[in-house]
Amino acid sequence: MEDAYARSISEVLEAFRVDPTKGLADLQVAENARTYGRNVLPQEGSTPFWKLILKQFDDLVVKILIAAAVISFILALIDGETGFAAFLEPSVILLILAANAAVGVITETNAEKALEELRAYQADVATVLRNGCFSILPATELVPGDIVDVGVGCKVPADMRMIEMFSNQLRVDQAILTGESCSVAKELDSTVTTNAVYQDKTNILFSGTVVVAGRARAVVVGVGSNTAMGSIRDAMLRTEDEITPLKKKLDEFGTFLAKVIAGICVLVWVVNIGHFHDPSHGGFLRGAIHYFKIAVALAVAAIPEGLPAVVTTCLALGTKRMARLNAIVRSLPSVETLGCTTVICSDKTGTLTTNMMSVSKICVVSSVHRGPVSTEYTVTGTTYAPEGIIFDAAGLQLEFPAQFPCLLHIAMCSALCNESTLQYNPDKGNYDKIGESTEVSLRVLAEKVGLPGFDSMPSALNMLSKHERASYCNRYWEQQFKKIAVLEFSRDRKMMSVLCSRKQQEILFSKGAPESIIARCSNILCNDDGSAVPLTADIRAELESRFHSLAGEETLRCLAFALKRMPTGQQTISFDDETNLTFIGLVGMLDPPREEVKNAILTCMAAGIRVIVVTGDNKSTAESLCRRIGAFDHVEDFAGCSFTASEFESLPPTQRALALQRMVLFTRVEPSHKRMLVEALQHQNEVVAMTGDGVNDAPALKKADIGIAMGSGTAVAKSASDMVLADDNFASIVAAVAEGRAIYNNTKQFIRYMISSNIGEVVCIFVAAVLGMPETLVPVQLLWVNLVTDGLPATAIGFNKQDSNVMMSRPRKVGEAVVTGWLFFRYLVIGAYVGLATIAGFIWWFVYSDGGPKLPYYELVNFDTCSTRETTYSCTVFEDRHPSTVSMTVLVVVEMFNALNNLSENQSLIVIPPWSNLWLVGSIVLTMILHLLILYVEPLSILFSVTPLSWSEWKVVINLSFPVIIIDEILKLLSRNVRGRRFNLRFGKRDLLPKREIRDR
């Protein structure tokens, strides 16, 4: 029943044909179970393992590599190769793809845990009335129409409509569902609000929430998927994971690369059609197959096989650095996504605030002899720890607060008129509450005021253990005063009272809403001398003015305290006794903001990141918090920056779009609103980070570009998120964003490094094929270069130092291509040089080397006809492994020098020397050691078709390789001056790499 909140009790009971005194009969239970289903969140069918594996290969670049492996194997068999040689190249390619697929499967398997953990918030048992008898049944057996009793500490087992209340009030903590910082009072009356949100449905008990005060009876109106918790589950199922900006750019690059590879391969094959008849191939068909093999080698050369592994490794290194900043990354791509975040939608309760109610102001009357003069005290401390200082109106610290009569009696009343518990939890290392947050904050206030009569009291209290200190002063007052009778809080009185006895003297202590307490007072306690004087109209007006100031301007939750001396020996109290009270004072409390939040928000503003506070609390309370943390500092009038969910939904589409661009605060929201906000911002091409800690935040966390859960939050929120803040500190997000930006800059550098290297390989093979030279590099050599000699330095580039001004610039645009304009030209030049140097090494050995045949250039480019002509040399010279070894070594060494070029995009090696990144230096040394191993260790040299080089050959290799540094230094110089920038403008404002629409939402 979706509208149970709007119906009367009799209408709801009649709809389910249930007698509230007898409950459902067994026949009705069976019928309702068939109609509505079981009270469980259905098990969602998980993706079959084989589908998860296949999904990892659904990528164009991966498909090209698979095709290259299959073709390579077929061609090897056609050529008559058998055994290890035939399987080597395809096996290496498939092993790489298998490793990447394994990482993907593990990541996706972990993501499905969020739905399972929703079940933890369902109650285990329920007290149910059936067939006229109460019994305790498993909560899974509940059906709509069941009559259920709930009390303090009960977890609500299903969505239920209240039908009867057995206490003066019933309060429920529904923070996991709505994010409200305080428990919510429930009532029996139907709700008439149109478009009611969860907070408006005050007669409904929601599944998974906890009763913190009172006892009541309710009728089940929703089970399983038809509960508020079930709707969150459905929202999570409907939410598809967003593709990260880097993944989008890599996908676009892969598509572009596939087209280029296909074009070049076809071009190479077509250009050499005339050579298919060459005698050396043994026929037209074999000639076609030979050049097809060259085309396949070209494909292997063009694809940076190591790129996925290097990106994954770099992001993994970033997660380790983030973990040191208390940001635990669950999804690797989210590390990079942080770098382009433009909007952070932050939950208020527990994220920007401590989620611990704390008394911050005390208001008492000093004396009436000089007119009604009220005094305010400020209380520090924002947690449940009994640590804080009380300052007077002049800002001076009170050494002994308990010496002041009003503060002393407020502490007494806070300790005695209280049913909560405060205790130290050694496992968590913090103070835990049991009961209402407001009452626990009064317990903490009593500890901060301390005890009277001991000059050494502050230091003596500090000497206690944390377990003893938690409630030392509260226990003192409970030992001094014996509780005799209690009048519980009621909605009509808005107060509670307790009768206590001490030394044959009975005192009534009362606390409650200021308007209720003041109306019942006839006297007032003076803070200067402890005297009680009549409460005059002037003093009453002064107190009401102070109360409205604290509750209105400062949006504090206010409580008033009073006492009354009762006749000796009185053992009972009634509502009639709550008159002629003596007013003690007012306290104002709030869920305080975290101390570091204000600076974190200012840093976000400087970095061009907008912060939107999202909360289920009321508008005035949230606006007060936003003023405290500086969220409104950049706007003169925040009227157009603060909206409730209903206000926002009522706006026309045009005004709603404008409101989104200015929005700073979004209040009275429920889970669907959070998800709607994320989607609306994403439609405006914003990159959205959503923070949260409750079950209610899970759908929005999953939908956002990056979901950030709090470490103390629910397991559901953590599982639906990409990142978890171990310290619940909003400021940690700022540090994580800075790290994300730095990681992206480094990612960009190594991607460019790998692209320029692969361009070199393509140029080498393409030029050799067009000129008609022998095969310069065999596929297995290209694989070695792409995976090892490219991969290690590329990974080390990820350790480049973070720029000092990384958080002083606006977020990069999501559509920013990895390689654009002038940069593409730069790396094209570098790649061309890498390829030509590799070809030059090959030609040098045949034409000029003392250890080579010193052939004329003509003979080299016409090697195919060697067997048909009379020559002064043996045709077997073209099968020598020296020339390809020189080429491969030139390619490796030139790429090592090129890696040094990527220490910075535009800064010279003189400014940023190689030793600024020792990881890169180490990777270059390791790469060269590995290359020497395959040259000089015989089993490896045979495997890779290479041979040892002499010192004279090494000198030529170095001479051909080093100029790449000089060329890039010249290009960097052009980048730093006006000519480079002009070229960029002329060469293309558009990306050279194609880009699709950023979002197809």
Assess contact for 355 and 349: CB atoms under 8 A.
Answer: yes
Which among 347, 617, 693, 722 is annotated as catalytic?
A: 347
Show Cβ contacts of residue 169 under 8 Å, excluding neighbours closer than 6 positions.
185, 213, 214, 488, 489, 490, 491
Q: What is the C-alpha to C-alpha distance for residues 818 and 801, in angstroms, rounded to an integer?
A: 19
The CA distance from 597 to 612, in Å, is: 13
Q: Which residue has the tokens 């290359």?
A: 931
- Say whether 262 sits in a helix, a strand or coil: helix
Phi, psi of 324 (to 5 degrees): -70, -20
CA–CA dist 561, 496 (Å, integer):
10
| CA–CA separation, 354 and 357 (whole Å) | 8
Q: Which of 218, 201, 215, 173 is nearest to 488 (CA)?
A: 215
Q: Which two tokens stand for residue 927?
A: 């790469």
CB atoms within 10 A of CB 44: 12
Tell me how crowded residue 763 is: count the other CB atoms within 10 A of its CB: 21
Return the closest-CA partner of residue 892 out of 800, 793, 970, 767.
793
Q: Which amino acid is at 635?
A: V
d(CA 436, CA 170): 12
Q: What is the CA radius of gyration of the chain?
A: 38
Q: Where are the alpha helices (DSSP H) in 882-917?
A: 882-901
Tokens representing residue 60 in the block: 């164009």
E strands present in 277-387: 327-329, 343-347, 358-367, 373-379
Fill in the amino acid letter for 709.
A
Q: In this structure, how many other beta carbons lie within 10 angstroms of the beta carbon of residue 598? A: 18
Q: At what angle do helices 597-606 and 619-629 cross, to 10 degrees?
A: 80
Residues 6+ apart with CB under 8 A from 607: 734, 737, 807, 808, 809, 810, 811
Tokens matching residue 587: 């306290």
Beta strands in 531-651 (DSSP E): 532-534, 557-566, 581-590, 610-614, 642-644
What phi and psi, each to the nearest 5 degrees, are found at residue 309?
-65, -40
> Rounded to 10 degrees, what is the CA torsion of 100, 102, 104, 106?
-150
For the question of residue 850 being annotated catalytic, the response is: no
Amino acid at 531: S
d(C-alpha 295, C-alpha 599), whole Å:
58
Q: Which two tokens stand for residue 152?
A: 């303090």
Q: Where are the alpha helices (DSSP H) in 397-548?
A: 405-416, 437-449, 457-462, 466-469, 472-480, 514-519, 537-548
* Residue positions annotated with a catalytic role: 347
